[in-house]
Amino acid sequence: MEAHGFILQNGALWITVCTALICVAVALGSADWLRLTRDPDLQHSFLGGGVALLILWQMKAYFVPGMSIHFLGVTALTLLLGWPFAVLMGCMVCVADFAIHERNFNLLALGVLSLVIAPSLITLLVVRLEKLAGFRLFFSYIFICGFFGAAFSAAAGALVCWLLLLFAGIITVAELFDLYLKYLPLIMLPEAVINGMVITGLLVFCPDWLNTLDSDRYGRSG
């Protein structure tokens, strides 16, 4: 879910910029840069994931004034790279997408928060909850982390965008309930399907690429 043609001012702008910068700083500090420089597979996943994400984001649908919808793919990227590298690559893709479409960079921090950071954080939370639950079937990784993680992350990203626009006074509470919230199922289900398919393919053909996959734990299931 992306916002177009709006201008954030004063408090809303500072909130988005400061929050985005803090999250990016945390990602920069927690990323395993030594491994990235030494692991060719991670390098290929990092660059290939970014290219795939940028291509995916070009398929947009405009459904209400000032808003567009497209697949995020951030859940798959987070499961592939881990949270720090997914956030950093997602931010670079967001900047590139803004430049390609000549969008107002006043909304860049909002885009980073709603398209990258919020979805990746929800995905990370789902991964950790699935781990705490102690499931030992690969299907649990696909359906809980890939499918449901993507659905919840897409919803979180859309809600972050809408709530910040509401806080900025750009949309009203009535518009939020009457015009935007009804699109949540339309956002969640396709996102869940495409991310679930990607994770299933990676799990079958390239499980070692999934940095969030604990293959030993699932392997003990038989």
CATH number at residue 150: 1.10.1760.20
Structurally, the chain folds into a number of domains equal to 1
The range of the structural domain enclosing residue 169 comes to 2-219
Residue 221 above 60 pLDDT?
A: no
Q: Which two tokens stand for residue 18?
A: 């400061």
Q: Kindly report, residue by residue over 2-20, the tens digit of the pLDDT.
A: 777 677 887 888 999 999 9
pTM: 0.92
- The first and second tokens of residue 16, run together, are 């988005």
What pLDDT, in 10s, does the model give residues 51-80? 999 999 998 887 766 677 889 999 999 999
Average pLDDT across the chain, whole number: 90
What's the pLDDT at 220?
A: 47
